Structure 1
Amino acid sequence: MRASLVVGFIGTGIMGLPMARRIAGAGYRVTAWNRTPDKAAPLVDAGVEVVSHASEATRDADVVICMLSSGPACDDILLGDDGIIARMREGSVLIVMSSVPVDTAQRHAQAAAARDIGYLDAPVSGGEKGAQDGTLAIMAGGEASVFEGVRALLQTMGRPTRIGPAGTGQLAKLVNQMMVASTIATVAEAMLLAECGGADPAQVRAALLGGFADSTILRQHAARMIARDFAPGGPAKYQIKDTTTALNLAHSLGLQLPVLGLVDGLFADMVEHGDGELDHSALILELRRRNGLSVS
């Protein structure tokens, strides 16, 4: 693999665009593709070549990064005779940074290995702000030698940690999403209780900062809940994708995770009521709806 890596970047949405920008800013040559071309256009000013077909992003790439919305979306682009894996050169590396099911990541790894392509599943946590600031938590699954070969590239986007073999990065992300979703639900309930009990939720939040209940979600998402600022950093429709995937995996392992089941149900109802495009902190609206309170 060349000393100065050439990177193909697939999927430049809310997270992918700032991730690709940071890679380019670190001096890598980046070629990007997005299904909706307008979403990739801002990268031109960062020196990224934006192409009209996904296959063009792989043509000279040492590393291809996939940051699409779901497992099926990744399958559609990566697999098959016309998929990206079939067009990548031997010895290159595929990094799937999308959140996909564990077994999907393992299938991608097998398809890559059949063509002598290195593979990592490396989902991220930290939201749009983390992507912009280069502070994402990056959970990687795959061979240690592949991970070490692209560690410096991953470090342009955040803090990479190798968990274990292919699929374990996605497993770590599911654990992360369980904790995020459950904490959002608890913080939303807490803010609602404070409001309905007669306290100022903003002052309650301020009092809790620095204490044992403090968290990134209390700092960022409680502020969103109070301000009713639900512009999507992490859309609820993707949160429910992850909680349902985690719940299905738990069931396949014979585990009962009752808190996860309740939280998954809350997010499912939120999406069903038309709030799936809102930030996942808008879960407080579903709690207000359940309690007969105004959501406007």
Structure 2
Amino acid sequence: MNLPSVAFIGTGIMGLPMARNLLHAGFPVRAWNRSPGKLQALATLGAAVAPTPAGAADGAQVLICMLSDGPTCDEVLFGENGAALALAPGALVIVMSSIPVDTAVEQARLCAERRLRYLDAPVSGGERGAREASLAIMVGGETAAFEQGREVLAAMGRPVHVGPAGTGELSKLVNQLIVASTIATVAEGLLLAERGGADPAKVHEALMGGFVDSPIWRQHGQRMLNNDFTPGGPAKWQLKDTRTALAQAQKLGLDLPVGRLVDSLFAAMVEAGDGELDHAGLIRQLRRNNPLPE
């Protein structure tokens, strides 16, 4: 069976292992990244390396975009010599970045004008999920487009079609609000254990298997115990997502008080210079907010 050719745009913390899994699954991949050095690992696995986004997209049947934000995706896809402009009619554009809902809807419209199919398919699961091809993939777009891209997406994780264009990004905003608030609560709990005289590592162990247990409790809680905040998901991107979620809620006339509070904590963390650290580093901000008595 001939697998569709894939152009992969953006091979950073998440994009690199995602593209690697496509290669392992047998998909022909041509990749582009703003920092060319990050492409070498893919080239050794058989990926073709393109000098421009349009060069990666030329002749591709599927274009995957895994960039930092909406404006960057717009520029790379639809700007001068944009990647989407190099695709033939009938090709599929899959934006797997976390971008605003309205941006995804507009991108879908621009693709339709060019007779391209479009999916917004953001992911959850962090760098580990990207490496293990176990990402949760929330997909918005037409059913026919989803069926066209299902096999490609399944090589990177578990795709679920949630509705029309934009609803994949809406699902990601739901995810990010829950992730951010859970990280904050885990950090508060471990700080309480730490300052109350318990062994936080033993508390962490004792609560496994109960209602508290979750990937965040296990993985991010362990990061907090180890004070290891090597970024899997940098705090600055967590803040971007909570801001986007709150803006979307405001458009819908919703007040999300927990979301607002957690957003303010991540904003303080970024302002304190910890924006490049993993979002589990929020415990550092809580410690700053609660200094030890002299």
Contact kept in structure 1, 2:55 and 2:83, CA below 8 Å: no
Question: 1:42 aligned to 2:41?
Answer: yes
In the alignment, what sits opposite 2:185? Answer: 186
Per-residue CA distance 1:117-165 (angstroms, 9 max, x = gap): 0000000000000000000000000000110111111110000000000
Matches within 5 A, 1:22-101: 22-101=21-100
Matches within 5 A, 1:1-296: 3-293=2-292
With normalisation by structure 1, the TM-score equals: 0.97
**Partners of 2:267 and 2:244 in 1: CA distance:** 13
Aligned pair count reads: 293
Moved more, 75-84 or 144-153: 75-84
Moved more, 39-48 or 195-204: 39-48
- Partner SS, residue 224 of structure 1: helix
**Partners of 1:81 and 1:290 in 2: CA distance:** 46
Contact kept in structure 2, 1:121 and 1:167, CA below 8 Å: yes
Moved over 4 A (4+): none
- Partner SS, residue 173 of structure 2: helix
Compared CA separation, residues 61 and 181, structure 1 to 2 (3 A): same
Contact kept in structure 1, 2:54 and 2:85, CA below 8 Å: no
Contact kept in structure 2, 1:85 and 1:111, CA below 8 Å: no
Seq. identity, %: 59
**Partners of 2:38 and 2:167 in 1: CA distance:** 30
Q: CA deviation at 1:88?
A: 1.2
Q: Give the counterpart letter for 1:131 in structure 2.
A: A
Q: CA deviation at 1:293?
A: 4.3
**Partners of 1:172 and 1:238 in 2: CA distance:** 16
Q: CA deviation at 1:52?
A: 1.5
Root-mean-square deviation over aligned CA pairs: 1.1
Identify unmatched segments of 5+ residues in structure 1: none
Q: Give the counterpart letter for 1:178 in structure 2.
A: L
Q: CA deviation at 1:97?
A: 0.2
Per-residue CA distance 1:70-117 (angstroms, 9 max, x = gap): 111101111235222222111100000000000000010000000100
